[in-house]
Amino acid sequence: MFEQSSTMRLNYLLERGLDVEMLRRRVIANNIANVDVPHFKRSEVNFESELRRVIEYNNSLDSRYPGRITDPRHIPFYVERDIRSVNPRVHLDYNTTMRNDGNNVDIEKEIVDASKNQMRYNAFVASLSHNFRMLKIALRQV
């Protein structure tokens, strides 16, 4: 019961956000480290768009008509996905080229992405710390 509460779901999302930001930090560091390597293609992490898609899909399930499955070989119309099934994906950017040697790492963009990443990480830590403080206060009241 307590694990399905909105506070615990929010804590789970914040923890996943921290994990994704750590992965994103490693990818950005890898991009920066390989800025002078010929034919190196930059990578980026995709997580938020897939998570948003799953959340919007689960919120709209109430208004959909459930299909009737009479045989186990039937394909269901809608498959409910849990937010815990969403994983970050690292994508290579093959479409762009910044220099003549085929490298597409823009150091200025990577530095800006690194600073945005650090700000998001700090915000997630502050929010998670706040949630744990509120949980601690609530448990003292009981």
Which residue range is the domain that position 125 belongs to?
Answer: 2-47+87-141
Whether 77 is covered by a domain: the verdict is: no
Please list, in sequence order, all residues whose beta carbon lies within 8 angstroms of the beta carbon of residue 61, skipping any fewer than 6 positions away. Answer: 78, 80
- Res 66: pLDDT: 66
E strands, 11-132, in order? 43-46, 89-92
Whether 109 is covered by a domain: the verdict is: yes
Contact 25, 117 (CB under 8 A): yes
- Res 2: pLDDT: 61
Whether 80 is covered by a domain: the verdict is: no
Contact 43, 90 (CB under 8 A): yes
pLDDT in tens, 74-98: 877 767 777 888 899 999 988 887 7
The predicted model scores a pTM of 0.80
Whether 131 is covered by a domain: the verdict is: yes
pLDDT in tens, 105-123: 999 999 999 999 999 999 9
Please list, in sequence order, all residues whose beta carbon lies within 8 angstroms of the beta carbon of residue 115, skipping any fewer than 6 positions away. Answer: none
- Res 142: pLDDT: 67
pLDDT in tens, 44-75: 999 998 888 888 877 775 666 667 788 888 87
Whether 76 is covered by a domain: the verdict is: no
- Res 65: pLDDT: 66
pLDDT of 32 higher than 80: yes
Whether 52 is covered by a domain: the verdict is: no
**Cα 81 to Cα 66: distance, rounded to the nearest angstrom:** 15
- Res 63: pLDDT: 60
Whether 74 is covered by a domain: the verdict is: no
Contact 28, 55 (CB under 8 A): no
Whether 96 is covered by a domain: the verdict is: yes
Domain count, the chain: 1
Contact 33, 43 (CB under 8 A): no
